[in-house]
Structure 1
Amino acid sequence: MSRERLQALRETLKQQGVQAFLVPRGDEYQNEYVPASDERLAWLTGFTGSAGMAAIAAEHAALFVDGRYTLQAQQQLRDQPIEQESLSMDAIADWLCEQLRPGDALGYDPRLHTELGLATLKKRLNERDINLRPLEDNPIDAIWRDKPAPPCGPARPHPLAFTGEHSADKRARIAAQLAERRADALWLPNPEVCAWLFNIRGTDVPHLPVALACGLLYRDGSATLYLAAEAVSEALLEHLDNDVSIVNDKSELFTAAQRHHVAKIWVDPQITNCWTLQQLRARDIELLQERDPVTRAKARKNPVELAGARAAHERDGAALCEFLAELPDAVAASAADTPFGELEAAGLLRAKREQREGFQDDSFDAISGYGPNGAIVHYRVSRESSLPLKPEGLYLIDSGGQYPDGTTDVTRTLALGDFPAHAREHFTRVLKGHIAIATLHFPKGTCGEQIDAFARKSLWDAGLDYAHGTGHGVGSFLSVHEGPQRIGKAASGVALEPGMILSNEPGFYLTGQYGIRIENLVFVKESDKHHGFLEFETLTLAPIDKRLIDTGLLNEAEKAWLNRYHRRVRETLLPLVNEKTQKWLHEATETI
Structure 2
Amino acid sequence: MTYQEKLTEIRKQMQADKVGAYIIPSADPHISEYLPDRYKCIPFTSGFKGSAGTLVITQDFAGLWTDFRYFEQAADELKGSGFELVKQKVQHAPEYIQWLTEKLGPGAQVAADDKLLSVLLGDLLTQQLGAKEITLVSKDYLSPIWENRPELPSEKAFLIEEKHIGQSVTAKLAQVKSTLQKQGASHHLISSLDDMAWLFNIRGKDVSYNPVVLSFALISPEGTQIFIDAAKLTDQEKASLSQSGVEVHPYQNIEQAIAGIPSNSSILIDPKRNCFGLYKLIPAGVKIVKDTNPSTNLKAIKNETELANTRTAMLKDGVAITRFLKWLSENIGKITITELSAAAELRKFRAAQEGFVGDSFTTISAYKAHGALPHYSASEESNYEVKAEGLFLVDSGGQYHYGTTDITRTIPMGNNTEEEKTDYTLVLKGMIEGCKVRFPKGTCGYQIDAITRKPLWEHAINYGHGTGHGVGYFLNVHEGPQVFNPTANPVPVALGMITSVEPGIYRPGKHGIRIENLVNTIKDITNEFNEFYAFECLTIAPISTKIVKKELLEQAQVEWLNSYNAMVFEKLSPLLTADEAAFLKEETKAI
Q: By the TM > 0.5 criterion, same fold?
A: yes
2:248 to 224, 246, 249: 246
Preserved CA contact (<8 Å) 1:299 1:483: yes
Mapped partners of 1:288, 1:405: distance in 2: 35
On the 8 A contact 2:122/2:276 being kept in 1, the answer is no
Structure 2, unmatched stretches of 5+, are: none
Residue 260 of structure 1 deviates from its aligned partner by: 7.9
How far off is 1:259 after superposition?
7.0
Q: Which residue matches 1:323?
A: 324
Mapping 1:366-515, distance limit 5 Å: 366-515=363-512
Describe the superposition over 1:297-317 as per-residue Cα deviations: whole angstroms up to 9, x where unpaired: 000000000001100000011
Against the structure 1 CA distance between its residues 21 and 588, is the aligned structure 2 distance closer, same or farther, given a 3 Å change threshold? same
Partner of 2:98: 94
Q: What residue identity is the alignment partner of 1:540?
A: T
Kept after mapping to 2: 8 A contact 1:267/1:292: yes
1:226, 1:248 within 8 Å by CA — same for their partners in 2? Answer: yes
**Contact 2:228-2:248 within 8 A present in 1 as well:** yes
Alignment partners' CA distance in 2, 1:362 and 1:166: 27
Match of 2:212 among 195, 198, 210: 210
Deviation, 1:555, is 1.1
Q: Say whether the 8 Å CA contact 1:92–1:121 is kept in structure 2.
A: no
> Equivalents in 2 of 1:127, 1:257: separation in Å?
29
SS at match of 1:527: strand
Higher alpha-carbon deviation: 325-334 or 44-53 = 325-334
Q: Which residue of the partner structure matches residue 13 of structure 2?
A: 12
In the alignment, the residues of structure 1 paired with residue 554 and residue 395 of structure 2 have an alpha-carbon distance, to the nearest angstrom, of 27
Q: What are the Cα deviations for residues 190-249 of structure 1, in whole angstroms up to 9, with x where unaligned?
A: 2211111111101100000011111112357x3100101321211311321341111104
Q: Deviations over 1:562-582 (max 9, x none)?
A: 111001100111122233321
1:133 aligned residue (134, 137, 161): 137
CA contact (8 A) 1:305 1:405 kept: yes
Q: Distance in 2 between matches of 1:458 and 1:281?
A: 53
| Partner in structure 2 of residue 582 of structure 1 | 581
Maintained 8 Å contact 2:261/2:283: no
Residue number in structure 2 paired with 1:104:
108
Assess if the C-alpha contact under 8 Å between 2:21 and 2:58 holds in 1.
yes
Q: Which amino acid aligns with 1:124?
A: Q
Displacement after TM superposition at 1:91 (Å): 2.7
Is the counterpart of residue 170 in structure 1 residue 172 in structure 2?
yes
The 3 A distance-change label for structure 1 pair 183 and 257 is farther
**Equivalent position amino acid for 2:477 in 1:** V
Change (3 A) 1:557 1:19: same
Secondary structure in 1 matching 2:280: helix
Match of 1:124 in 2: 128
Say how many residue pairs are matched.
Answer: 584
After the TM superposition, which of the residue ranges 167-176 and 83-92 deviates more from structure 2? 83-92
Contact 1:341 1:387 (8 Å CA) reproduced? yes
Q: What SS does the corresponding residue of 1:81 show, helix, strand or coil?
A: coil
3-state SS in 2 of match to 1:508 = strand
Post-superposition CA distance 1:35-88 (Å, at most 9, x none): 111100011111111111010111110001111111111121124321211336
Query: Could you say what the CA RMSD is over the residues aligned between the two structures, in angstroms?
Result: 1.7
Provide closer, same or farther for how the CA distance between residues 567 and 219 of structure 1 changes in structure 2, counting only shifts above 3 A: farther
Deviation at 1:262, TM superposition (A): 7.1
Residue in 2 aligned with 1:267?
269
**Residue aligning to 1:570:** 569
Aligned to 1:154: 156
Following TM superposition, by how much is the alpha carbon of 1:384 offset from its aligned partner in structure 2, in angstroms? 1.2
Q: Which amino acid aligns with 2:327?
A: E
TM-score normalised to the size of structure 2? 0.96
Tell me how far 1:111 sits from its aligned partner: 0.8
Mapped partners of 1:238, 1:123: distance in 2: 45
- For residues 230 and 141 of structure 2, what CA distance do their matches in structure 1 show? 27
1:253 Cα deviation from its structure 2 partner: 5.9
| 1:115 partnered with 2:119 | yes
Structure 2: how far apart are the matches of 1:105 and 1:270?
24
Q: CA deviation at 1:454?
A: 0.9
Residue 4 of structure 1 aligns to a residue whose secondary structure is helix
Q: What letter corresponds to residue 93 of structure 1 in structure 2?
A: I
Q: Is the 8 A contact 1:167 1:197 kept in 2?
A: yes
Q: Are the counterparts in 1 of residues 260 and 283 from structure 2 also a CA contact under 8 Å?
A: no
Which AA in structure 2 matches 1:28? P
Shift >6 Å, 4+ stretches: 259-262
Q: Find the counterpart in structure 2 of residue 295 from structure 1.
A: 296
**SS of corresponding position for 1:416:** strand
Would the alpha carbon gap of residues 397 and 33 (structure 1) be closer, same or farther in structure 2, given more than 3 Å must change? same
Q: Please list the CA deviations of residues 24-45 of structure 1 after superposition, one character each: whole Å capped at 9, or x if unmatched.
A: 1111111111111110001111
Question: Secondary structure of 1:78's partner?
Answer: coil
Unaligned runs of 5+ in 1: none
- What code does the residue aligned with 2:247 have? S
**How far has the Cα of 1:545 moved from its partner?**
1.2
Shift in alpha-carbon separation, 1:252–1:80, aligned structure 2, 3 A: closer
| Contact 1:299/1:473 (<8 A) preserved | yes
Query: 1:227 matched to which residue of 2?
Result: 228
Structure 1 counterpart of 2:63: 62
- Rounded Cα–Cα distance in structure 2 between residues aligned with 1:259 and 1:218: 9
- Per-residue CA distance 1:472-517 (angstroms, 9 max, x = gap): 0000000000011110101211111101000000000000011000
**Residue 155 of structure 1 contacts residue 201 of structure 1 at CA under 8 Å; is this kept in 2?**
yes
- 1:362 pairs with 2:359: yes
Find the counterpart in structure 2 of residue 281 from structure 1: 283
Distance 1:189 1:529, change over 3 A: same
Q: Distance in 2 between matches of 1:523 and 1:301?
A: 9
The change in CA–CA distance for 1:490 and 1:313 in structure 2 (over 3 A counts) is same
Q: Which amino acid aligns with 2:196?
A: C
Q: Percent identity, aligned pairs only?
A: 36
Q: Which amino acid aligns with 1:550?
A: K
Counterpart code for 1:13: M
Matches within 5 A, 1:339-350: 339-350=336-347
- SS in structure 2 at match of 1:526: strand
Give yes or no for contact 1:475–1:501 (8 Å, CA) kept in 2.
yes
The change in CA–CA distance for 1:288 and 1:262 in structure 2 (over 3 A counts) is: same
Partners of 1:13 and 1:424 lie apart in 2 by: 54
Task: Decide which of 197, 200, 214 is 1:198's aligned counterpart.
Answer: 200
Partner of 1:538: 537
Alignment-mate amino acid for residue 47 of structure 1: F
Q: Residue type of the partner of 2:173? A: R
How many Å separate the matches in 2 of 1:46 and 1:480? 25
Take 1:79 and 1:545, find their aligned partners in 2: how far apart are those partners?
A: 42
CA distance in 2, matches of 1:434, 1:419: 21
Q: Matched residue of 1:423: which SS?
A: helix
Counterpart residue type for residue 182 of structure 2: E
- Answer whether contact 1:65 1:84 (CA < 8 A) is retained: yes
Q: Give TM-score scaled by structure 1 length.
A: 0.95
Q: Distance in 2 between matches of 1:518 and 1:169?
A: 38
Distance in 2 (alpha carbons) for counterparts of 1:111 and 1:212: 14
Contact 1:90/1:121 (CA < 8 Å) preserved in 2? no
1:131–1:253 distance in 2 versus 1, CA, 3 Å: closer
Distance 1:252 1:97 in 2: 34
Say yes or no: does 1:40 pair with 2:41: yes
Q: Is the 8 A contact 1:175 1:218 kept in 2?
A: no
d(CA) in 2 for partners of 1:261 and 1:18? 34
C-alpha separation in 2, matches of 1:590 and 1:252? 58
Range with bigger deviation, 200-209 or 270-279: 270-279
